[in-house]
C-alpha cells in the first residue's frame, strides 16, 4: 500500500529517525512516500542523510523528500507527525532563566509551569498556521499525530481552533508501566493496567497480574525498590497521598504541583541528580543543548555507525506507527491517546484533552468510557486543565490578561510568586520572546514601556536554582561517545527506559 507521511520539525534527530524506523518496520509500508520538513536547513540535511542511509541499507526503494516549505511537505499527505519546538533552544533558555530570577525552579518547563505556558504561546500560534496549511494542501482525511509539547495545549488548540483532526501521543504511560512491572519483579507483558487522566498527569487506576489486583500494593513495592525509592521520591509521595501512581517522571511531576519545588532549601530532598529527569534544575534544557552540540559536531561519525534495522524486534513502543498500522491494515492496537474528552473521563471537562486507553483498527480510533477518576486524582488534573484552558485561549486570541491569569493559576508559579511578581515576569517573558509571539504585538509594546519606565520589583538574576549542572562541552562529551550519542538521540523527548518493545 502507498500513502504519504510527512514529518514537520524533522530536524529532531531522535524522534524523526526512531519514528521512521517504526513505520518502515511494517512490511505493508515499504512503498510509502516520506517528506521531511524543517526550517533549519543544516539539521534537515543531516537527518535526511542519516535516515536515507538507514532506508538504503534495509533494501527499500523509498526516497525521502526534504524541504523547508511545509506546504510542499504536506501536499497530499495522509498522516503528519509534528515534533516541532517553536523558538528552538534560544526561546527555551528564556523559559527557564527568566522564571528562575523570580525563584521558579523548573526541571523541564515544557508542559506546565511558567515555561510550559510560554512554550504553548509560541507553539499554538505556529500550529494554527500549520493547521491552515494542512487543511489547504493535505489529503482530506489527514490525521495530525502530535508529539510536540505542551501536548495537551497544542492538541487542544489544533482540534478546537485548527480544524484538523489531531491526536496527541506520548510514551509516559509505557515508561511508568515498565517501572510498575519492575517494582513488582514481573514481566511487563503480564501486568495489565488502566491508566487515565491528562498528559503527564495520567494515573494507573488499575494494576492487575493474572487477575490479582495489585493497585493497593504498589506503594510498598516502590518504597522497597533499591533504585526507585531514591529516584522517584516525588512520585512515591504523590502515590502515598493520592493513592495512585502518576505517569510522569520525578522531575516533570515536581513542577506540575505546588509542594515540592517552592522552597529552594527543600528541593534537594525530593530529587536525584543521577539523571536529569529526576529533577535537575533546567535539566532538559541542558541535555537538549548538549545533544544538539554533539550531533552537529559528531555527525560524520554517526554515518560510520551501524544503521537502524527495520525489524519487529527493533520497533519502539511509540504509538504513532501502530496507530497508522491499525488504520491501514485493520490490525487492532491498544494504546493510550490524547484526545478531546467528550465524556471518556466523566469527572473531567468535556472540552479538555485527556489521556486514556484507546483502540485502533480500520474503523478508526475508539475510546472506551473510563468513568470517574478517583476524586483526588481528578482534582489534581482539574487544576492543570484550568491552566491549560486559560493558556490556550490566551495564545489563540493574543490575550495577555488571560496569559497572566494562567500564570497565577499555575500551581508552582502561584506557590512561589505573588501577583505583582507574576505580572512583571510575564512582561519580561513576552518581551524576550517577541519574535515568536506575533499575536501579542500590542501587549509586548505595553510591556516594554512598563519595564522601561516603572519601578521594578527586585529579582535575583544570578540565581541558578537549587540543582543546576553545567552544560558539558563537546570535548567533555567526547570522552564518552556512547553516552553522548544516546543523549543526542533522546534529547527530543525524555526516555524512561530503552524504547524497544519487551
Q: Is 79 a catalytic residue?
A: no
Which grid cell sits at 307? 544503521
Classify burial at 142, counting beta carbons within 10 Å of its beta carbon; exposed 0-12, middle 13-18, buried 19 or more. Answer: buried
Which residues make Cβ contacts (< 8 Å) with residue 412, sequence separation at least 6? 104, 106, 112, 113, 255, 256, 257, 258, 261, 262
Q: Which residue has the cell 512516500?
A: 33
The percent of the chain in helix, strand and coil, each rounded to the nearest 5, is: 55, 15, 35
Which grid cell sits at 36? 521531511
- At 236, phi and psi to the nearest 5? -70, -40
Q: Is 260 a catalytic residue?
A: no
In whole angstroms, what is the distance from residue 103 CA to residue 480 CA? 34
Catalytically annotated residue among 79, 102, 256, 333: 256
In a 3-state reduction of DSSP, which class is residue 356?
strand
Which grid cell sits at 140? 482530506
In whole angstroms, what is the distance from residue 131 CA to residue 137 CA? 10
Q: Are 295 and 15 spatial neighbours (Cβ–Cβ below 8 Å)?
A: no
DSSP bridge pairs for 356: 337
In whole angstroms, what is the distance from residue 388 CA to residue 410 CA? 9
In whole angstroms, what is the distance from residue 271 CA to residue 206 CA? 27
Which residues make Cβ contacts (< 8 Å) with residue 410, sequence separation at least 6? 112, 113, 114, 117, 387
Which grid cell sits at 381? 488534573
In whole angstroms, what is the distance from residue 265 CA to residue 311 CA? 49
Which residues make Cβ contacts (< 8 Å) with residue 462, sequence separation at least 6? none
In whole angstroms, what is the distance from residue 349 CA to residue 312 CA? 39
**What residue spans of 106-171 are helical by DSSP H?**
113-137, 151-157
Catalytically annotated residue among 30, 171, 177, 252: 171
Kindly list the catalytic residues: 171, 256
Amino acid at each position: 500500500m502507498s500513502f504519504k507521511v510527512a514529518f514537520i520539525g524533522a530536524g529532531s534527530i531522535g524522534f524523526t529517525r526512531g519514528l521512521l524506523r517504526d513505520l518502515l518496520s511494517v512490511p505493508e509500508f515499504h512503498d510509502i512516500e516520506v517528506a521531511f520538513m524543517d526550517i533549519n536547513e543544516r539539521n534537515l540535511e543531516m537527518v535526511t542523510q542519516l535516515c536515507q542511509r538507514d532506508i538504503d541499507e534495509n533494501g527499500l526503494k523509498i526516497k525521502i523528500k526534504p524541504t523547508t516549505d511545509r506546504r510542499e511537505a504536506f501536499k497530499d499527505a495522509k498522516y503528519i507527525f509534528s515534533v516541532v519546538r517553536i523558538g528552538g533552544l534560544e526561546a527555551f533558555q528564556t523559559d527557564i532563566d527568566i522564571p528562575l530570577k523570580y525563584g521558579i525552579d523548573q526541571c523541564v518547563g515544557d508542559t506546565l509551569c511558567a515555561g510550559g505556558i510560554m512554550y504553548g504561546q509560541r507553539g499554538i500560534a505556529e500550529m494554527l498556521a500549520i493547521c491552515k496549511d494542512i487543511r489547504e494542501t493535505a489529503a482530506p482525511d489527514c490525521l495530525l499525530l502530535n508529539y510536540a509539547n505542551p501536548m495537551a495545549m497544542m492538541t487542544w488548540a489544533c482540534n478546537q481552533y485548527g480544524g484538523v483532526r489531531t491526536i496527541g501521543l506520548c510514551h509516559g504511560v509505557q515508561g511508568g508501566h515498565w517501572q510498575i512491572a519492575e517494582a513488582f519483579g514481573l514481566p511487563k507483558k503480564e501486568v495489565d493496567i488502566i491508566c487515565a487522566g491528562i498528559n503527564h498527569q495520567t494515573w494507573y487506576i488499575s494494576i492487575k497480574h493474572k487477575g490479582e489486583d495489585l493497585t493497593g500494593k504498589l506503594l510498598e513495592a516502590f518504597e522497597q525498590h533499591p533504585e526507585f525509592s531514591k529516584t522517584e521520591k516525588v512520585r512515591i509521595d504523590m502515590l502515598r497521598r493520592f493513592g495512585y501512581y502518576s505517569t510522569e517522571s520525578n522531575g516533570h511531576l515536581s513542577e506540575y504541583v505546588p509542594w515540592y519545588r517552592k522552597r529552594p532549601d527543600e528541593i534537594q530532598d525530593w530529587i536525584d541528580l543521577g539523571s536529569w529527569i529526576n529533577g535537575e534544575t533546567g535539566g532538559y534544557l541542558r541535555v537538549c543543548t548538549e545533544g544538539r552540540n554533539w550531533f552537529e559536531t559528531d555527525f560524520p561519525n554517526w554515518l560510520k555507525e551501524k544503521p537502524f534495522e527495520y525489524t519487529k524486534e527493533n520497533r519502539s513502543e511509540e504509538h504513532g506507527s501502530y496507530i497508522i498500522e491499525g488504520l491501514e491494515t485493520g490490525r487492532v492496537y491498544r494504546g493510550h491517546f490524547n484526545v478531546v474528552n467528550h465524556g471518556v473521563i466523566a469527572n473531567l471537562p468535556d472540552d479538555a484533552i485527556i489521556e486514556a486507553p484507546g483502540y485502533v483498527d480500520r474503523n478508526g480510533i475508539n475510546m472506551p468510557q473510563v468513568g470517574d477518576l478517583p476524586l483526588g486524582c481528578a482534582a489534581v488534573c482539574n487544576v492543570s486543565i484550568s491552566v491549560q484552558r486559560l493558556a490556550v485561549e490566551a495564545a489563540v486570541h493574543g490575550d495577555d490578561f488571560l496569559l497572566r491569569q494562567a500564570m497565577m493559576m499555575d500551581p508552582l508559579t502561584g506557590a512561589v510568586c505573588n501577583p505583582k511578581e507574576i505580572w512583571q515576569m510575564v512582561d519580561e517573558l513576552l518581551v524576550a520572546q517577541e519574535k515568536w509571539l506575533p499575536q501579542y504585538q500590542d501587549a509586548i509594546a505595553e510591556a516594554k514601556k512598563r519595564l522601561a519606565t516603572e519601578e521594578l520589583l527586585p529579582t535575583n538574576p544570578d540565581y541558578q536554582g537549587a540543582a543546576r549542572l553545567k552544560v558539558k562541552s563537546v570535548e567533555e562529551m567526547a570522552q564518552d561517545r556512547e553516552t553522548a550519542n544516546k543523549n543526542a538521540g533522546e534529547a527530543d523527548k525524555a526516555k524512561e527506559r530503552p524504547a524497544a518493545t519487551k
